Amino acid sequence: MSFKAETDDLRESPIVQVVSTLIGKGYELCIFDRNISWKELFGSNLGFLEHELPYAEKLKAESVEDLVRRSDVIVVANPASEFRDVGRLMREDQVLVDLVRITDDPSTVKGKYVGISW
């Protein structure tokens, strides 16, 4: 959710708008970002999330493994270290959309790999 790794800064994060749009089109989503403590958000971070995605906490996955287990398509939008193993955790019927070049070796991804925007 955050626009860069190792931060909880959601302000103007483009992925928040992508999530909002996908939900508005009827897609089911789950979100994992270990740096976001949903109960401790405050200030402009909280204001931005309440305005753009007021139901975000209901979408959260408990871990990367939980996210992968619950997903058909996985989108990695920041290069946090916990996402480096996503490709190995996947099933063959899943798709990984990599927006940040999380892997230099797409052959390690069990499912289909799509790298874009880098």
Q: Is the pLDDT of residue 75 over 80?
A: yes
- Angle, to 10 degrees, between the axis of helix 43-52 and the axis of helix 14-24? 20
Average pLDDT over residues 74-89: 92
pLDDT band at 59 (very low <50, low <70, confident <90, very high): confident
Quote the pLDDT of residue 87: 95
CATH of 14-115, one of 1.10.10.10, 3.40.50.1100, 3.90.1570.10, 3.40.50.720: 3.40.50.720
Q: How far apart (Å, rounded) are the C-alpha atoms in residues 68 and 90?
A: 6
Q: By the 8 A CB rule, do 16 and 49 touch?
A: yes
pLDDT of residue 80: 87
Q: What is the pLDDT of residue 5?
A: 64
51 CB contacts (<8 Å, ≥6 apart)?
A: none
Overall average pLDDT of the 63-79 stretch: 94
Q: pLDDT at position 60, please?
A: 84
Amino acid at 109: V
pLDDT of residue 7: 63
Query: What are the extents of the domains in the chain?
Result: 14-115
